[in-house]
């Protein structure tokens, strides 16, 4: 098993009023040249957790951090107008908390963070601030919630 030091959370950046099933995610990642879905887990709106990539395989979800991380993505992340928003359902939140607890029992001393939190610190103050985020993903504050 590879060393894991991050669990990185993502959103699919799809509108809350449009379905984006695991099959569509798979098709889209293949079309981008990936060897399947780049995340290790995908959580659909109904709270179903899909294991989409073996934990022993490097992810394809956060450039520069794939080798030692686990990627978790939830369906959604955009409101009905297409703007970034925390669109997680109660079922998704519950599933995310349950999955995180399971992973933390297996992997110790890992950092839980959102994809946006790994943006570069452009002003060099030692903190990645909202104005430095390259994207809004996952549209919620991982450190405060998880």
48 within a domain of the structure (yes/no)? yes
Strand order in the sheet with 69-74: 49-51, 41-43, 69-74, 6-11, 111-114
77: left (phi over 0), alpha (psi -120 to 50) or beta: left
Domain presence at residue 1: no
Residue 18 located in a structural domain: yes
Model confidence band, residue 99 (pLDDT cutoffs 50, 70, 90): very high
pTM: 0.93
Question: What pLDDT is attached to residue 90?
Answer: 98
What total of structural domains would you count in the chain?
Answer: 1
Q: Is residue 100 part of a domain?
A: yes
Strands 69-74 and 49-51: unpaired
Q: What is the CATH number of the domain that holds 135?
A: 3.40.80.10
Domain that holds residue 76: 6-145
Residue 95 lies in a domain: yes
Model pLDDT for residues 8-41, shown as the tens digit of each residue: 999 999 999 999 999 999 999 999 999 999 999 9
């Amino acid at each position: 098993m590879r060393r894991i030091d991050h669990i990185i959370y993502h959103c699919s950046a799809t509108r809350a009023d449009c379905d984006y099933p695991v099959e569509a995610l798979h098709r889209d990642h293949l079309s981008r040249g990936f060897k399947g879905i780049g995340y290790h887990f995908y959580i659909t709106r109904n709270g179903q957790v899909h294991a989409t990539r073996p934990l022993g395989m490097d992810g394809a979800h956060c450039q520069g951090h794939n080798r030692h991380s686990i990627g978790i993505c939830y369906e959604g992340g955009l409101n009905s107008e297409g703007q970034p928003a925390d669109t997680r359902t109660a079922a998704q939140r519950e599933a995310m908390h349950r999955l995180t607890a399971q992973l933390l029992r297996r992997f110790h001393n890992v950092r839980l963070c959102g994809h946006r939190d790994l943006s570069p610190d452009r002003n060099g103050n030692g903190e990645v601030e909202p104005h430095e985020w390259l994207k809004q993903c996952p549209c919620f504050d991982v450190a405060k919630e998880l």
